[in-house]
Amino acid sequence: MKMRHEYKYPINYMDYLVLKQRLDAVMKKDPHTGKNGMYHIRSLYFDTPDDKALKEKIDGVNKREKFRIRFYNGNDSVIHLEKKSKINGLCNKKSVPITREETEKILAGDISWMATETERPLLSELYSKMKSQLLQPKTLVDYERIPYVFSAGNVRITIDKNIRTGVYQKDFFDVFVPTVSASETVLLEVKYDAFIPQFILDILQLNNRRTQAFSKYAACRIYG
């Protein structure tokens, strides 16, 4: 399992403006961004009835995982089931494509077809945990992402803002579903493989900010 470094820095709006100007000058945008240089992400997170994933995140458990379904810019032609794992401070993400029909079946509790899914083992793993741990769709998370990439070190820098959630809403495909602001925080995320070039570290320096635990999922769970 390929593991990556991942660090999160909650920043304010002025920090965001400074960083965006610096990053625009030296890094390329992710090719999937629109003309405005960003894209919208909607995720639906899964958790157990006793909130295992949420509690492990809050408690800083050293080995943990979470499942989510995600799509971009309201386009339901490309949907992914993802499993995010964290072990000893390093992260791994597994992802498989699923269709809107398959997604709607999962959200409706029609999951028996997943048990024998061999070409996409992540689906059969989700099935197993929906049966054994009672994983279920829990919280809708919306936000805007400005993504930058740099090939050396497989570096990915993202700035997430306008983090919102649907209060007790799990209507994944309704682009007009009512949402509320879950956090005023702007989140800087830094991800890379074995190393990150020094010049990138230099431009990320902001008033001695330190990495902090911040979870968009946990922030949104305040509302349900």
Which residues make beta-bridge pairs with 10?
187
Summarize pLDDT for 166-221 with one digit per residue, the tens. 866 668 999 888 899 999 999 999 999 999 999 999 999 877 666 677 899 999 98
Mean pLDDT computed over every residue of the chain: 92
Confidence label for 35 from pLDDT (cuts 50, 70 and 90): confident
Considering the domain 4-221 in this protein, what is its CATH number?
3.20.100.30
- The continuous run of DSSP H or E covering 130 comes out as helix 121-132
Query: How do residues 137-167 score in pLDDT, each as one tens digit?
Result: 999 999 999 999 999 999 999 999 999 998 6
How many CA atoms within 13 Å lie on the side-chain side of 25?
Answer: 10
Q: What is the pTM of this model?
A: 0.92
Taking the domains of the chain in order of start, what are their residue ranges? Answer: 4-221
**What residues contact 36, with CB distance under 8 A and at least 6 apart?**
none
